[in-house]
Amino acid sequence: MMKQLFPIRHVMGYLASLVLSAAALIVIYGDLSQGANMAVLLITALIQASLQLFVFMHIGELADTKKELYINIGYALFVGLVTIFGTLFIFVWGWYS
């Protein structure tokens, strides 16, 4: 009964997120080349994003077909890109007045 109530998948996802964040922090304090820095950041960012989508946002749980899964992932990417470029549009490029 207790095994069903304890969210082990979420705890493991949280710990994995902490490890990935620490790995990305190596870029700041480590003495790596520019190419190695970008590789570490890109790899940890992709793993972190997929971890967030599948563990915490449950993107694949209700998808009955692969088509629905790809639509869900596409929608998540769309929302993320609109958020990023909307923020850049407003704050960096000065379209806030």
The predicted-structure confidence for 23-36, as pLDDT tens digits, reads as follows 988 888 888 888 98
Q: List C-alpha distances in Å: 86 to 65, 79, 96.
A: 32, 10, 11
Q: What percent of the chain has pLDDT over 90?
A: 28
pLDDT score of 2: 65
For range 40-49, the mean pLDDT: 91
pLDDT score of 90: 87
Is the confidence at residue 6, as pLDDT, over 80? yes
Is the confidence at residue 57, as pLDDT, over 80? no
- Total Cβ atoms within 10 A of residue 34: 7
For range 51-58, the mean pLDDT: 81
Q: Where are the alpha helices (DSSP H) in 1-97?
A: 2-5, 8-29, 34-51, 66-87
Is the confidence at residue 19, as pLDDT, over 90? yes
